[in-house]
Structure 1
Amino acid sequence: MSRRGENIYKRNDGRWEGRYIKGRKPNGKIHYGYVYQKTYKETKEKLLEMKWRYKQVQISRGIYTGSVHEWIDYCLEQQKNKVKYSTLMTYRYKMEKYLYPFLGEIELRTVTQENIQEWVSELEKSSLANTTIHTVVQITRRYFEQAVQDSAIEKNPFKHVLLPKKETKKIHPLTLQEQQKIEEIAAKEKNGRPILFALQTGLRIGEVAALRWRDIDFYNNLITVRYTYQRVLSEGSGTELQLGRPKTRASERILPLSANLRDWLLSWRPEEQTEFVFQVGSRPMEPRLITYHFNKICQKAGVTNCHFHQLRHTFATRLLENRGTITGISALLGHSSTKMTLDIYTGSDLTERRKMMDDLLTSWVP
């Protein structure tokens, strides 16, 4: 199905037709060009190519008159071979859902700071989290900055736009008692293995799903995190599963394999070795299935309002409680900087703070 503003339609003869601005007639009216292909995907690709050619001509002449939607489509096309597919699809989704309905049809060079501030106000009125608003605006700002660099517009109207205050992210790891309850139930169930593994390694759910046996070096006791398995937005519509590189370079990391975890893995590793550690049929156990089993285990353990990512926070919190350093924890988690680790985890757990206060006061009794 065609999305709003795409100008792609299915014809009665079964072909797909795409329409794009080819130029301007002497009287100033738009001169449209058309492309015809057998499938929606082929039509969209050809249409983007033709739009790109027209924009190149316009920019070179310094007379770009395209809309915000057209400009960002052009930018996304340029990014195709520069960013991960999942990242590109995320950018496209955010633009289509949050930007185009408000500013998509406005001519790029006429957008003002007032237009953008009104757009931000509309986003605030919705149920969108302030952190998501910041992300959407940041992505859009970059595309407008590119327009300035390419001389499609004179200045970036985002320069003095005011954004809502970001919420302080509260981390709620499992208590030691909750963790023990979940571990007890998970140990009794075959589908509980990914949960137990995540609690001992701090891997993200996609990293757990993508882990191969060959990524575990039982001789040197090392785990290498190379891939992530996740459901991403597809080119047309809906989603698809994709095995790819982790979210950042820092996420590709090596973790020590503890003796207990090593023995546990070897105790149930199949004799006919499968490719993936957590596998269903010939494929990795997908994150949605892991989440399903995790929720069932939490329910049996009597732990409510818990999501899989909390296992990662729990892993980090247990390390902090055992006097782990921020630098070491950051490396194990695959954070791009220790600042990120500090922002998320410092002061996140009352147990650690209580221990520090108790240690401080042990030498003095009132």
Structure 2
Amino acid sequence: MASFRKRGQNWEYRIVFIDRQTGKQKEKSKGGFRTKKEAQLAATEEESKINHFGFAENGGERVDSFFDDWLEIYKRPNLKPITYTLQERNVRLNILPRWGKYRLKDITRNEYQKWINELRGHYSEGTVRRIHSIFSTAMNDSVHEFRVLRENPVQKIKIPKQVDKSSKVAHFTREQLESFLDCVKAPVKNAKYQHSIQYYAFFTLLARTGLRVGEALALTWDDIDFDAKTLTVNKTLVYPLNSQPYLSTPKSKSSERTIKLDEITIKQMKRHRINQKEVCLMYKNYKPTKDNIIFHQHEGRWLRTNVVRDYFKEICKRAELPVLSPHALRHTHAVHLLEAGANIKYVSERLGHASVKVTADTYLHVTKKIEDDALALYERYVQK
């Protein structure tokens, strides 16, 4: 039931109600109406909404304050540390600079859609989708968990599509990969550990297995069965910025896998295992690893992901190739397998993708060629 009073020249309404979720008595008031009639009409509309939703909207909280609570209460306890770190980083670097000073109830769909369109000018479709997913999930929780908004203001947002899907799959051709690995293997004048073949082994393994960088860095010699010629992926190395590295479970359940290794990779890894011991004997400050790690720094700890990335780019420049990231070797392996005629389901399982659809969508430009080639084979068959 609403009550009304006049304050100065204006009228104000006050509604007392029971919040259906908490069972507690609450109130909602609003002033600034020129006449009592205007206040009565507004109160009637608000009562109707309270009866429908079961609570009064209270979106006056600032976005930055809301996200602080949301991350701490709903995200940190339920996410892997690396996933939480990525989400917190996206909130801090992308969402709050634009929306932090807004009140929740001031976010409009049109303004938000314009912002999403602007983001696509700076980021890939996938990155924008991740940012939007974080924002929309938070707004859903503001409705259903925090109960400060009645509706998610960023529903039914359209993410501008990738015009050329093949452009997002950076990879090397066979010739480029050969040039890259030749450049890695070539001796570098004044290199600190010239006898080491570690980086050649590391990049060869990525290019011939499609492992993610974190999966490869986490490997120990126990993960390779040289007799069965298999490699088991059951962990990944996480190297947060300005923090200590740690081992975590793989990206998803399907990422846990055992894959076959080809003969060249087996020989290279055996050669690296011998070379690893030789390097420790040859250089006084190069210490053996205590944890049986396959790829490690001179003091025996895991290789740093940023060091691997920087060295990879240095090799690209030295070999006069497109400057890509180490993840491009994963794409390279997948593309080469598909171009060689490998079954897409096999490729999907080898990469540890959640589904064949992920593989097909990612390598659309290759799978379309496979489809065309298969149809051409069929046409030649039926014409005989």
- Following superposition, the deviation at residue 322 of structure 1 comes to 2.7
1:177 to 2:175 alignment = yes
SS in 2 for 1:348: helix
Decide whether aligned partners of structure 1 residues 195 and 351 sit closer, same or farther in structure 2, where only a CA change above 3 A counts.
farther
Once the two structures are aligned, what percentage of the paired residues are identical? 24
- Per the alignment, residue 23 of structure 2 pairs with none
Aligned to 1:285: 303
CA distance in 2 between partners of 1:349 and 1:224 (Å): 27
Q: Say if 1:130 and 1:164, in contact at 8 Å, map to a contact too.
A: yes
CA contact (8 A) 1:230 1:286 kept: no
1:69-99, CA deviations, whole angstroms, 9 ceiling, x for partnerless residues?
2222112112112111121121112112222
**Paired amino acid for 2:324:** C
| Structure 1 CA distance for aligned equivalents of residues 354 and 94 of structure 2 | 28
**Residue number in structure 2 paired with 1:210:** 218
**Closer, same or farther: CA 260–104 of 1 in aligned 2, 3 Å:** same
Q: 1:170-218 CA distances to partner (integer Å, 9 max, x unpaired)?
A: 2343222222222333344623221111111111122221211111122
User: Scaled by the length of structure 1, what TM-score is found?
Assistant: 0.72
Which digits, 9 at most, give the CA deviation of each residue in 1:252-283, with x for residues without a partner? 22112333322322233145874211111221
Question: Is residue 66 of structure 2 the alignment partner of residue 91 of structure 1?
Answer: no
Q: 2:351 matched to 1:333? A: yes
For the 8 Å contact 1:187–1:196, the answer to whether it is kept is no
Is residue 192 of structure 1 aligned with residue 186 of structure 2? no
Cα-to-partner distance string for 1:113-147 (whole Å, 9 max, x where unaligned): 244234435545x6344443332112100111111
Tell me how far 1:239 sits from its aligned partner.
6.2
Query: Unmatched 5+ residue regions in structure 1?
Result: 1-27, 29-58
AA partner of residue 294 (structure 2): V
Match in the other structure for 2:136:
141
Alpha-carbon RMSD across the aligned residues, in angstroms, is 3.3
Larger radius of gyration, structure 1 or 2?
A: 2
Alignment of 1:250 onto 2:254: yes
Q: Which of 353-362 and 241-250 deviates more?
A: 353-362
Choose which of 200, 209, 216 in structure 2 pairs with 1:201: 209
Alignment of 1:1-366 (within 5 A): 63=58, 65-78=60-73, 79-123=75-119, 127-150=122-145, 151-170=147-166, 171-188=169-186, 190=197, 191-233=199-241, 241-269=245-273, 270-271=276-277, 274=289, 275-280=292-297, 281-348=299-366
What amino acid sits opposite 1:183 in the alignment?
L
- CA spacing shift, 1:218–1:96, aligned 2, 3 Å: same
In 1, Cα distance between equivalents of 2:163 and 2:293: 38
Deviations along 1:263-310, one digit per CA (max 9) or x if unpaired, are 322233145874211111221112222223323433443323333222
Q: Which amino acid aligns with 1:95?
A: V
Q: 1:349 deviation in Å?
A: 7.9
Could you tell me the TM-score, scaled by structure 2's length? 0.69
Alignment partners' CA distance in 1, 2:330 and 2:252: 17
In 1, Cα distance between equivalents of 2:380 and 2:185: 39
Change (3 A) 1:216 1:60: farther
* Paired residues, number: 304
CA–CA distance in structure 1, aligned partners of residues 256 and 136 of structure 2? 29
Distance 1:84-1:187 versus aligned 2 partners, 3 A rule:
same
Counterpart amino acid of 2:253?
Answer: R
Q: Would the aligned equivalents of 1:131 and 1:167 in 2 still touch at CA under 8 Å? A: no
Contact 2:235 2:247 (C-alpha < 8 Å) held by counterparts: yes
Separation in structure 1 between the aligned mates of residue 150 and residue 380 of structure 2, nearest angstrom: 65
The CA deviation at 1:343 is 0.7
| CA distance in structure 2 between the aligned counterparts of 1:146 and 1:245, rounded to whole angstroms | 27
C-alpha distance in 2, partners of 1:182/1:354?
A: 30
Q: Classify the secondary structure of the residue corresponding to 1:145.
A: helix
Query: Per-residue deviation at 1:362?
Result: 7.1
Question: Shift in Å at residue 354 of structure 1?
Answer: 8.7
Partner Cα separation in structure 1 for residue 246 and residue 165 of structure 2: 29
Q: Is the CA contact (8 Å cut-off) linking 1:347 and 1:353 kept in structure 2?
A: no
Tell me, yes or no, if the aligned pair for 1:194 and 1:290 is still in contact at 8 Å. Answer: no
User: CA, structure 1 residues 66+211, in 2 after alignment: closer, same or farther (shift >3 Å)?
Assistant: same
- Distance in 2, matches of 1:277 and 1:86, equals 23
